Chains A and B, each alone.
Chain A
């Protein structure tokens, strides 16, 4: 086994183990029942994924048919190709500025400072990164295949289960060339990055590559027509249009293979001289523009933005447990940036969507995503404090005071955004839910915050906290929140027109919040066992 795979393989296995653990599958359990469970998981998620995609494509197909009754599918393919081009130009741009291979600080010491084969490192890292990058493409390809089936069926009849083989065939025929095509595009972007990082010389001209690609390929895609521009854009069009039946399937597949061979061959050549020290410096010094989106990268971005220091904060101080709120306020003010705006804007937009949604089905989808965002935002401070085991943990504070001070402030902001959503929906006349439900928002926000806190704490181990590793919210908070929201909604609907229903829903939330806080306190006290 080569050293690169020995190190990176462990990281990849840990990630796989994490995702499997979420589903309840234990990699170490070799029993037959566990294997049957794995089979069940694969079947369940395959059926669920395909059904979800079929549901989405159904809406898209109807929309496209309404938009362009004569050639509904061509528009979708055109849009997909443009999206792929934009993605590739963006990949090339990033590769021309920063190392495409993202190394952690540990990798920089364990891998990059050794005379290990550069080619082995490149291809080992490519394997892990490529897969996560490829997933959306696979989804897109299958969905395009489904749209094609849907549109062809919609002409004569309504789609049913008997059409499933057609859906699968079209999905797969789209997927195969796109899969190979993506390998080529992805590895070509890496080739550019590795080429730039060969030896000691700082090469500037790779920065021109994304511009050149955009100038060569875009005119043919955006303006259409015939001529040189159209011919130049063909290599990008053919692998996608092949699956659509617009061009020859074999020609499209062949072009995909040529892309993959060019990309992998180029990377094989460029990676030989890759300077791992430079790659490590770029990826650890400025991971913000690197490829990995991680907490580490976010912290590095924040450090860069904060610069050296700051004068003493003028925010009014609080003593005892209130010191946590003081600290949290300073942190939020200093860390305020586009990411924060986006995080909270999403909560506001989702709240608005929930208030405006015409039925419980669409409202439920909105509530689901809203709850996920609320979990992430309300548990943020608790996770930071857990990650900084010293100095936060040894403070002389009761566990329940500590948890309330960490979880409640953001639940208050969630409530305000929930009310703002209700206000905007009312003012625009698009509000579809009764306004008295706004009274329930703080109770639900609080319950969600405590469920998120409990979910984080129940997964936390002190040994991991020593190295700053804190779990995110998991499935438990999602289930509990779903339960609370559903039951509250049910009570309100059941006693419609009677304030008693609203009161019962509030009591239910308070009971859940109280129970979840108690569980969270217990988990906090048990940390480290």
Chain B
């Protein structure tokens, strides 16, 4: 399997406090990793570093061999991230958010059809012309997911994707993750709800006090 995500001695300090101690790991294409751990363990810090939103104190991150900071454009083209609380432009509708992302990624071929399909699957079609500030928390999370899924990627990072989703949306997300896995994408997600990854053959990694414990325990097929 091709290595999609590779970190080397990655760490993040906030002053003296080590939110993430030096850690090196790899995730291959077609692999799903569920990152668990108590609140404040450093899961979100790790994800923010991996997604390029927070710069690590030391270490390197490579996506499909492209360094996140040296080959900024190429690595970001291959990486999609959905935060636990996505934020949106006040003046752009849900549809226009999708279009903006597709245009910026130059992935607007057959956009109308793909966007319609995606929004219908996520039950957001009726709200396509609404501004996201009128959405509920769950709908915002769905729109965040749609913005990640509307463009091609090799690595999908999801921060607490099940935190605000309804059961139907969780089922959809599970099937989507499975589909992406078969297509060769690597997926890294944090969750407190292991039901989300049950049945996906995901590896469970554990974080505690900034230390990442990697084991390959699979969460059942």
Interface residues of A in 394-408 (CB under 8 A from B): 394-399
State whether B96 touches A324 (Cβ < 8 A).
no
A135 at the interface (CB under 8 A from B): no
A391 with B97, Cβ < 8 A, contacts A309-B129, A318-B103 known = yes
In angstroms, Cα B83 to Cα A389, docked, is 10
A468 at the interface (CB under 8 A from B): yes
A525 at the interface (CB under 8 A from B): yes
- Residues of B close to A388: CB separation below 8 A: 87-89
Return the CB mask of A295-322 against B: 1 if under 8 Å, else 0.
Answer: 0000100110010111111000111111
Query: Which stretch from A87-95, A272-280, A330-338, A426-434 is at the chain B interface?
Result: A330-338
Query: Which stretch from B2-10, B73-81, B174-182, B198-206 is at the chain A interface?
Result: B73-81
A529 at the interface (CB under 8 A from B): yes
State whether B83 touches A390 (Cβ < 8 A).
yes
Task: Indicate the member of B81, B87, B88, B129 with the most A CB atoms within 10 Å.
Answer: B87
Residue of A nearest to B12 (CB): A528
State whether B95 touches A312 (Cβ < 8 A).
yes
State whether B134 touches A308 (Cβ < 8 A).
yes
B100 at the interface (CB under 8 A from A): yes
Return the CB mask of B44-71 against A: 1 if under 8 Å, else 0.
Answer: 0000100111110100000000000100
State whether A394 touches B81 (Cβ < 8 A).
yes
Which of A319, A393, A396 is in CB contact (< 8 Å) with B53?
A: A393
State whether B89 touches A327 (Cβ < 8 A).
yes
A326 at the interface (CB under 8 A from B): yes
B93 at the interface (CB under 8 A from A): yes
Interface on chain B toward A: helix, strand, loop, or mixed SS?
mixed
Please, how many residues of chain B have a CB less than 8 angstroms from a CB on the other chain? 45
B194 at the interface (CB under 8 A from A): no
A462 at the interface (CB under 8 A from B): yes
In angstroms, Cα B131 to Cα A303, docked, is 9
State whether B81 touches A330 (Cβ < 8 A).
no
A384 at the interface (CB under 8 A from B): yes
State whether B103 touches A326 (Cβ < 8 A).
yes
State whether B91 touches A335 (Cβ < 8 A).
yes
- Residues of B close to A525: CB separation below 8 A: 69, 72
- Residues of A close to B103: CB separation below 8 A: 317-320, 322-323, 326
Query: Which stretch from B104-112, B117-125, B213-221 is at the chain A interface?
Result: B104-112
A483 at the interface (CB under 8 A from B): no
In angstroms, Cα B72 to Cα A154, docked, is 68
- Residues of A close to B165: CB separation below 8 A: none
In angstroms, Cα B105 to Cα A396, docked, is 6
Smallest beta-carbon distance B74→chain A, Å: 7
Residue of B nearest to A303 (CB): B133
State whether B76 touches A396 (Cβ < 8 A).
yes
Smallest beta-carbon distance B82→chain A, Å: 8
- Residues of B bordering A, CB below 8 Å: 14, 48, 51-55, 57, 69, 72-74, 76-77, 79-81, 83, 86-93, 95-97, 99-101, 103-106, 108, 127, 129-131, 133-134, 144, 147
